[in-house]
């Protein structure tokens, strides 16, 4: 079975995001970019499936600017076999929307015919949590979002999901879409020799036009603003003072 | 304009808080019809009909709709979508699972987690873990949205809408429910609680979390956790508060042994009053706390419990 893993290049989760003063967006020039953390988890899960002999080949795909090939190289260094870069913009500030991403991924899937597509549950930049579900819809496949456990037997994927109130287990008919949550696994670091080897692994460069997909956004960003700030309050000396303040000053006890 | 709201149900019952909060957003957009779907949905539909300001309730009962599976439910929503300009659901796990699928089937872009409504096409939503608020305007004729419940007040009862039964559509049959492991608790639910006390990595064990629970019971509070506490197995996953966990805005939020990473703040910084208990006075959580107590939590929590 072939496993496809879409990986997104996003601002590193440790970077403090700065909203531009003119409200036109956030500043992405010269900030550290990394693979979306949930996608690292998805790549790791694919590698584990390969190590168990369940998967034969892992193909990673990234859609965006040319620099996304760095993200693909990271995935190849972790253990993916092959990469596809779909250049869809030359501006690092342009975010390709989940619907367009899903349409491009459908194009890749029509060619590659994977048995399983593992995505992250959410990109930590746009916080949409949508692409996997949209892709499942376009393909007419089953979906399991927020996966915490995954087991494959024959053409069935059994997935335990993190849901409100606890856990839910589903069986999906494969091919299927699974999106990774935080506790599916702990991704490995790429070793130096593997980083070197990854440079020689195949990376196919495509464009959105190759798949005949219009990536024009449906949502126009009218403005981007700083959230309402909160300022530090006061320090209290002990529990008595805390209780007294909560009762008499804040009125919440 | 006609608005369709997908009701949130839990084990077949109406989740009145989540549905009520999404309803207050939906009401700003037009005349609201609520869809209640489930294996047995009549009870939940009757409850939804009583929510204030609902025009009509559609009730759909079918075994395929029993466990919130996205595929049959999306097919059902799409089958009735023609009548509505806006389709909303609360941004719960079930809502986030369902609505992007609905949107893609309708060839529109979903707008996730809206925190504000500017007009019928223009919405506010947090991005980058809440470090920026984007205002987006859609060019799609049909709007498919999920509503960040922490930003809207639940509507109360007082309605008396009619309940109409509709039939299910064919189950795409690509997924199958196996089991739910839902923890029963007498404590309030995180997203509807007026008070929350959360523990972090510093709790150091599952057993120690019991101290937090004791204080919670004294306060009538829900219990939350940081990702580090959940990852370490001290607390169950659905207690996680943050960018990728639950988003809460209670009257009182007490963070115990939590450093205050942006991913955690994203889930709680809209709380009315924030208390931080941390032994490191430099911890970033103090930058958002109204009241900070620099102390060892293992001294503070027992004292707090006895004095409340
Ligand atoms: C993609 C992604 C998503 C994430 N999503 C979330 C999310 O949704 N929610 C979330 O919470 N995190 C999330 N995180 C993790 C986040 O970045 C932090 O790692 C996490 O919040 C840290 O948890 P913590 O504050 O409990 O632990 P730590 O950062 O280790 O802090 C422990 C704190 O306890 C204090 N302490 C230690 N001992 C004591 C004592 N005896 N008494 C009092 N104080 C003490 C310390 O001073 C310290 O401040 C996410 C991370 C990533 C990459
Ligand atoms: N531009 C992209 N390139 C590759 N994968 C993407 C892209 N955008 C989203 N994805 C995938 O879809 C997941 C969910 O993203 P989102 O729906 O934007 O929150 C991510 O974790 C990725 O696996």
Question: B131 vs A163: CB contact, 8 Å cut-off?
Answer: no
Q: How far apart are CA B107 and CA B58, in angstroms?
A: 24
How far is ligand 2, taken at its centre, from the CA of residue A61, in Å?
Answer: 10
* pLDDT > 90 fraction of chain B, expressed in percent and rounded: 97
- Same domain for B80 and B208, yes or no, is no
**C-alpha–C-alpha distance, residues B139 and B288, integer Å:** 37
To the question of whether residue B67 is assigned a binding role by annotation, the answer is no
Distance between first and last Cα of chain A: 58
Q: Are residues B94 and B239 both part of a single domain?
A: no
Residue B149: pLDDT above 90?
Answer: yes
**Residue B255 belongs to a domain:** yes
Q: Rounded mean pLDDT of chain B?
A: 97
- Collapsing DSSP states into helix, strand and coil, what is residue A76? helix
Supply the range of the domain harboring residue A174.
2-249
| Closest C-alpha to B96, from A216, A44, A162, A215 | A162
pLDDT at B109: 98
Chain centroid offset of residue A115 CA: 19
Q: Provide the chain B residues 83-142 that lie in CB contact (below 8 A) with chain A.
A: 92-94, 96-105, 107-113, 122, 125-140
In a domain? residue B96: yes
Distance CA A112, CA B308 (A): 62
Distance A189 CA to ligand 2 centre (A): 21
Q: Do A164 and B286 touch (CB under 8 A)?
A: no
Final residue in a domain of this structure, among B149, B165, B181: B165
pLDDT tens, position by position, B111-138: 999 999 999 999 999 999 999 999 999 9
Cβ contacts of B9 within 8 Å, gap of 6 or more:
B15, B36, B37, B38, B41, B44, B68
The CA-based diameter of chain B, rounded to the nearest angstrom, is 60
pLDDT in tens, B5-63: 999 998 899 999 999 999 999 999 999 999 999 999 999 999 999 999 999 999 999 99
Nearest of B165, B297, B224 to residue A239 by alpha carbon = B297
Contacts of B254 in chain A (CB under 8 A): none
Tell me: do B103 and B212 sit in the same domain: no
B92–A168 C-beta distance less than 8 A: no
Cα-atom radius of gyration of chain B, to the nearest Å?
Answer: 20
Q: Is residue B27 part of a domain?
A: yes
| Whole-angstrom distance, CA of residue B46 vs CA of residue B42 | 6
Q: Indicate the number of domains in chain A.
A: 1
Average pLDDT over residues B240-259: 97
Residue A204's pLDDT is what? 98
Structure tokens at B243: 């960018």
CA of A129 to the centre of ligand 2 (A): 8
Which atom of ligand 2 is least distant from the CA of A68?
3
CATH number, domain with residue A25? 3.40.50.620
Interface contact A170, partner B, CB < 8 A: yes
Report the separation in Å between the CA atom of A119 and the middle of ligand 2, taken as the mean of its atom positions: 7
CATH number of residue B28's parent domain: 3.40.50.620
pLDDT in tens, B62-112: 999 999 999 999 999 999 999 999 999 999 999 999 999 999 999 999 999
Q: What is the pLDDT of residue B281?
A: 97
Q: What is the mean pLDDT of residues B187-192?
A: 93
B296 confidence band (pLDDT: 50, 70, 90)? very high
Q: What is the model's pLDDT at position B273?
A: 98
Contact of A183 with chain B, judged by CB distance below 8 Å, is answered with yes
Two tokens, residue B275: 């208390």
**Closest Cα to atom 6 of ligand 2:** A8
pLDDT at B241: 98
Q: What is the percent of chain B with per-residue pLDDT over 70, rounded to a whole number?
A: 100
- Residue in A closest to B236 by C-alpha: A166
From CA B297, how far away is CA B199, in angstroms rounded? 10
pLDDT at position A189:
95
Residue B50 domain-assigned (yes or no)? yes
Residue B122 lies in a domain: yes
Q: Are residues B149 and B223 both part of a single domain?
A: no
Asked whether residue B128 falls in the same domain as residue B203, the answer is no
Give the distance from residue A201's alpha carbon to the nearest chain B alpha carbon, in angstroms.
32
> Where in the sequence is the domain holding B228, given as residue range(s)?
195-307
Distance from CA of B103 to the nearest CA of A (A): 7
Q: How many domains does chain B have?
A: 2
Looking at ligand 1, which residue's alpha carbon is closest to its atom 50?
B263
To the nearest whole Å, the CA of B3 is away from the closest chain A CA by 20
Q: What is the CATH number of the domain that holds B214?
A: 3.40.50.1220
B101 appears as a binding residue in the annotation:
no
Interface residue of A25, A169, A219, A228 to substitute, partner B, most B CBs within 10 Å: A219
Ligand 1 mean position, distance from CA B225 (Å): 9
Please tell me whether residues B126 and B241 are part of one structural domain. no
- How far the first Cα of chain B sits from its last, in Å, is 50
Domain presence at residue B189: no
Q: Which residues pair with B111 in a beta bridge?
A: B145
Residues ≥6 apart with Cβ < 8 Å to B190: B196, B222, B223, B224, B238, B239, B241, B246, B248
Residues B78 and B35 in one domain: yes
Please tell me whether the peptide bond between A153 and the residue prior to it is cis, using omega within 30 degrees of 0: no
> Which B-chain residues 222-261 have CB contacts (< 8 A) with chain A?
227, 230-231, 236-238, 243-244, 251-252
B240 is in an annotated binding site: yes
One digit per residue, pLDDT tens: chain A, 253 residues? 999 999 999 999 999 999 999 999 999 988 999 999 999 999 999 999 999 999 999 999 999 999 999 999 999 999 999 999 999 999 999 999 999 999 999 999 999 999 999 999 999 999 999 999 999 999 999 999 999 999 999 999 999 999 998 999 999 999 999 999 999 999 999 999 999 999 999 999 999 999 999 999 999 999 999 998 888 999 999 999 999 999 999 999 9
Average pLDDT for B242-259: 97
C-alpha count within 13 angstroms, C-beta hemisphere, residue A201: 25
Res. B185 pLDDT band, cuts 50 70 90: confident
In this structure, the answer to whether residues B118 and B219 fall within a common structural domain is no
ipTM above 0.95, yes or no: yes
CA angle A29, A31, A35 (to 5 degrees): 115
Question: Coil, strand, or helix at residue B136?
Answer: strand
What are phi and psi for residue B273, nearest 5 degrees?
-125, 130
Whether B76 has its CB under 8 Å from any CB of chain A: the answer is no
């Amino acid at each position: 079975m072939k496993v496809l893993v879409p990986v997104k290049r996003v601002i590193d989760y440790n970077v403090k995001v700065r909203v531009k003063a003119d409200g036109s967006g956030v500043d992405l020039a010269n900030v550290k970019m990394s693979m979306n953390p949930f996608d690292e988890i998805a790549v790791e899960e694919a590698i584990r499936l390969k190590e168990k002999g369940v998967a034969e080949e892992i193909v990673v795909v990234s859609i965006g600017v040319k620099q996304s090939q760095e993200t693909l190289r990271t995935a190849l260094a972790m253990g993916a076999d092959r990469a596809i870069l779909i250049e869809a913009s030359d501006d690092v500030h342009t975010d390709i929307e989940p619907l367009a991403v899903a349409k491009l991924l459908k194009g890749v899937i029509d060619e590659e015919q994977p048995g399983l597509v593992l995505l992250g549950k959410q990109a930590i930049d746009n916080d949409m949590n949508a692409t996997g579900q949209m892709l499942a819809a376009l393909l007419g496949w089953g979906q399991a979002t927020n996966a915490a456990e995954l087991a494959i037997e024959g053409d069935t994927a059994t997935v335990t999901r993190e849901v409100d109130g606890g856990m839910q287990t589903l069986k999906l008919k494969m091919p299927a879409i699974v999106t990774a949550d935080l506790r599916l696994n702990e991704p490995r670091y790429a070793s130096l020799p593997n980083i070197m080897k990854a440079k020689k692994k195949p990376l196919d460069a495509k464009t959105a036009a190759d798949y005949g997909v219009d990536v024009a956004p449906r949502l126009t960003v009218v403005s981007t603003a700083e959230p309402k700030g909160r300022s530090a309050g006061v320090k209290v000396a002990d529990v008595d003072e805390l209780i007294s303040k909560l009762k008499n000053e804040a009125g919440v006890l | 304009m006609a608005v369709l709201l997908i009701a949130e149900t839990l084990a077949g019952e109406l989740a009145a808080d989540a549905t009520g909060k999404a309803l207050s957003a939906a009401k700003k957009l037009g005349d609201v019809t609520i869809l209640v779907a489930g294996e047995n949905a009549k009870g939940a539909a009757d409850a939804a009909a009583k929510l204030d300001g609902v025009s009509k309730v559609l009730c759909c009962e079918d075994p395929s709709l029993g466990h919130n599976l996205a595929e049959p439910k999306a097919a059902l929503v799409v089958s009735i979508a023609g009548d509505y300009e806006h389709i909303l659901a609360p941004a719960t796990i079930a809502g986030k699972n369902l609505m992007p699928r609905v949107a893609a089937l309708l060839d529109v872009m979903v707008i996730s987690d809206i925190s504000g409504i500017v007009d019928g096409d223009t919405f506010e939503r947090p991005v980058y873990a809440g470090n920026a608020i984007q205002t987006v305007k859609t060019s799609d004729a049909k709007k498919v949205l999920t509503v960040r419940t922490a930003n809207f007040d639940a509507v109360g009862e007082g309605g008396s809408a009619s309940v109409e039964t509709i039939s299910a559509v064919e189950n795409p049959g690509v997924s199958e429910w196996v089991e739910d492991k839902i923890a029963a608790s007498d404590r309030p639910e995180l997203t509807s609680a007026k008070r929350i006390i959360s523990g972090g990595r510093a709790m150091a064990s599952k057993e120690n979390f019991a101290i937090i629970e004791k204080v919670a019971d004294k306060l009538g509070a829900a219990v939350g956790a940081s990702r580090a506490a959940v990852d370490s197995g001290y607390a169950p996953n659905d207690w996680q508060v943050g960018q990728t966990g639950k988003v809460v805005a209670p009257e009182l939020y007490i963070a115990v042994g939590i450093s205050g990473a942006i991913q955690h703040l994203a889930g709680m910084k809209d709380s009315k009053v924030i208390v931080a208990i941390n032994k490191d006075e430099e911890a970033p959580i103090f930058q958002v706390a109204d009241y900070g107590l620099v102390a060892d939590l293992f001294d503070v929590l027992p004292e707090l419990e006895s004095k409340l």
